[in-house]
Structure 1
Amino acid sequence: MGKTDIKWIYLLALSIIWGSSFILIKKSLLGLTPYQLGALRTIITGIFLFSVGLNSLKSIKKREWKWVILSGFLGSFIPAFFFAIAETEIDSAITSVLNSLVPLNAILLGFAIFKIGFTRRQLLGVIIGFIGTSILIFKGADLNPNQNYLYAGFVIASTVMYALNVNIIKKYLQNVKPLSIATGNYVAIILPAIIILVFTDFFSESTYSHPDFKMSVVYVTILSFFGTALAKVLFNTLVQISTPVFASSVTYLMPVVALVWGLLDGEEFGFLQIFASVIILIGVYLANKKKA
């Protein structure tokens, strides 16, 4: 099996894993605050990664550590809190849709900052994907007029950080093992997460006595292992065997998975949103189709 086939398998696997992460965040918020969720997710993920990846840190060179640390904050730490905050006001499916801005940002930032070129077909693909994303957003606003879409700013800010992260990995960490990058990320961010958790009253009686507390911790644990620890290693591998734009295209497929979960959980979406999802998939195809 060649790299072309393998990268599509990675893309589909990540789409399912990350597409399911938004409903897990929503369920985790039933018994936890956004800051507790973000901190706990970071800590649990760090424990998982340290248990299998500590020895891999030896392969990271001194000059690469600054990029590993920056990657940790941009690609994991800050977004973990921002997405949790956003989902206190916005449905999980819509949050996933907003996340589809990542590939567009990856192209723009890759060209502007990292001098990574792109083709007209790639640009056309992400524009078409963005159109589909816009339809989903506006339709979601119509169906959910009581939701505060100002909180979409937290998701949009996260997409910019994700886009910076994929370009950093491609340009400066191309030769570092994916497990080493992921583990190194959490060496840098686990201590700040612990400090935040301590100041969120997580260890107070009021938190433990919440009726949804235990199940929320279960959801966070599942989210941390599959949606963060395992997915980060898969994603870092995908960036290295493909391109930042192709890797970022996972955010085009995630809304389809997230919309299905949202429907099962009682969130509303209509035919126009399904049509928009098809447009998004067309954008993914065009953005990654090789020239004849």
Structure 2
Amino acid sequence: MEKNTNLIAGFLLAILAIIWGSSFILIKRGLDVFDAGEVGAIRIIAASVFLIPFAIQGLKNVEKRHWKLLLAVGFFGSLLPAFLFAKAQTQIASSVAGILNALTPLFTMIIGALFFTQKFTARTILGLIIGFGGTVILILAGPGGSIASLNYYALYVVLATIFYGANLNLIKFKIQDLRARTITSLSLALVGPLAAIYLFGATDFINKVSTVEGALFSLGAIVLLGVMGTAIALILFNQLVKITSPIFTSSVTYLIPIVAVMWGIWDGELLYPGHYIGMVAIILGVYLANRKKK
């Protein structure tokens, strides 16, 4: 049974890496026409609408105490990161956003230690230091090994990974009794209307769709992002959280940067040596922090 669980977990991890590693290039295509707020809102609306049947089906299993937790999952695991990543990618490359996403396991451990039952070891602390050092290198990387000015937009991604870390621990330790698809569909159903109110009430979305060339292609990219990268992927992700540990699950970010960088290079993005050094440092830090004593 344990062997089968490990095989399923490994398979889900690989699928998630491909889906989420491709998310950053889809955000980039969405930003060709729409602004960051519109991209984030469309992504959440698409995901929540796609999951309506699952949300209705899951209602019978939800108790009163679950609703606040599901709302928190919707905010920290979906709504806020969707807006933060889109905002960040208005000024940083999609590949860099994908690399910075690898900070998620580190914040998972920090939040787990502060508020749940996660324990820190000397190796964990070393991993955290190396990982955050890699983040600094990545944010400051310039051409020819030079140090560029601080790109504050990268901090939007860092904040999103903090929210992801909080969400991981919340699901693992507070909502174990609900099915993965129930958590995903209902949490998105709670925040979907907020995204819709913003999109249709505070943006120029309707006008752009009907008048801007390429709008339908960009819209299709964001809808695909919402359905695959948010709805379907979150069901798989939450299932992975339930059958493994939060740290193992968040380790999907080992592979996400590789997929994101491949897409970025294919799309003509320039990466400097510092970007690769930062990526290696972040992944090494995550590896050390996750590695168990033998």
CA-atom RMSD in angstroms: 2.5
8 Å contact kept, 1:104–1:127: no
Q: 1:14-56 CA distances to partner (integer Å, 9 max, x unpaired)?
A: 1111111000000011111111111111111001111344202
The 5-angstrom pairing of residues 1-292 of structure 1 reads 1-139=3-141, 149-198=151-200, 199-204=202-207, 206-270=208-272, 273-274=275-276, 277-292=279-294
* Deviation readout 1:42-94 (Å, 9 max, x if unpaired): 11100111134420232122112111111100110111111111111110011
Query: How far off is 1:282 after superposition?
Result: 4.5
Q: Distance in 2 between matches of 1:145 and 1:116?
A: 36
Shift of 1:248: 1.6
Specify whether residues 119 and 222 from structure 1 end up closer, same or farther in structure 2 by C-alpha distance, changes over 3 A only: same
Structure 2 gap segments, 5+ residues each? none
Mean Cα displacement is larger for which, 188-197 or 266-275? 266-275
Consecutive unaligned residues of structure 1, counting only runs of 5 or more, are none
Question: In the aligned structure 2, how far is the partner of 1:223 from the partner of 1:144?
Answer: 35
In the alignment, the residues of structure 2 paired with residue 144 and residue 32 of structure 1 have an alpha-carbon distance, to the nearest angstrom, of 33
Separation in structure 2 between the aligned mates of residue 208 and residue 146 of structure 1, nearest angstrom: 40
Q: How far apart are residue 144 of structure 1 and its match?
A: 10
CA contact (8 A) 1:128 1:283 kept: yes
Render the CA deviation track for 1:180-211: whole Å, top value 9, x for unaligned.
0001111210111110011212122x442111
Asked if structure 1 preserves the Cα contact closer than 8 Å seen for 2:54 and 2:182, the reply is no
What one-letter code is carried by the residue in structure 1 that aligns with 2:206?
Answer: F
1:57–1:183 Cα contact (<8 Å) kept: no
Aligned residue pair count: 291
Q: Does the Cα contact within 8 Å between 1:15 and 1:254 map onto a contact in 2?
A: yes
Residue 234 of structure 2 aligns to a residue in which SS? helix
Whether the aligned pair in 2 keeps the contact of 1:39 and 1:194 (CA below 8 Å) is: yes
% same residue: 40
User: Is the Cα contact below 8 Å between 1:14 and 1:235 reproduced in 2?
Assistant: yes
- The residue type paired with residue 35 of structure 1 is G
How big is each residue's C-alpha offset from its partner over 1:216-249, in whole Å with a ceiling of 9 and x where there is no partner? 0110121111111111011111111222222222
CA distance, structure 2, for counterparts of residue 42 and residue 12 of structure 1:
23
Distance of aligned partners of 1:242 and 1:27 in 2 relative to their CA distance in 1, 3 Å threshold: same
Q: Which amino acid aligns with 1:186?
A: L
Task: Identify if the C-alpha distance between structure 1 residues 104 and 289 changes in structure 2 by more than 3 Å, giving closer, same or farther.
Answer: closer
Going from structure 1 to structure 2, the CA distance change for 1:118 and 1:69 (only over 3 Å counts) comes to: same
Report deviation, 1:279: 5.0
Moved more, 266-275 or 68-77: 266-275
CA shift for structure 1 position 283: 4.4
Q: TM-score, normalised by structure 1?
A: 0.89
2:28 and 2:270 map into 1 onto residues whose CA distance is 15
Question: Relative to structure 1, is the Cα distance of residues 47 and 142 closer, same or farther in structure 2, using a 3 angstrom cutoff?
Answer: farther
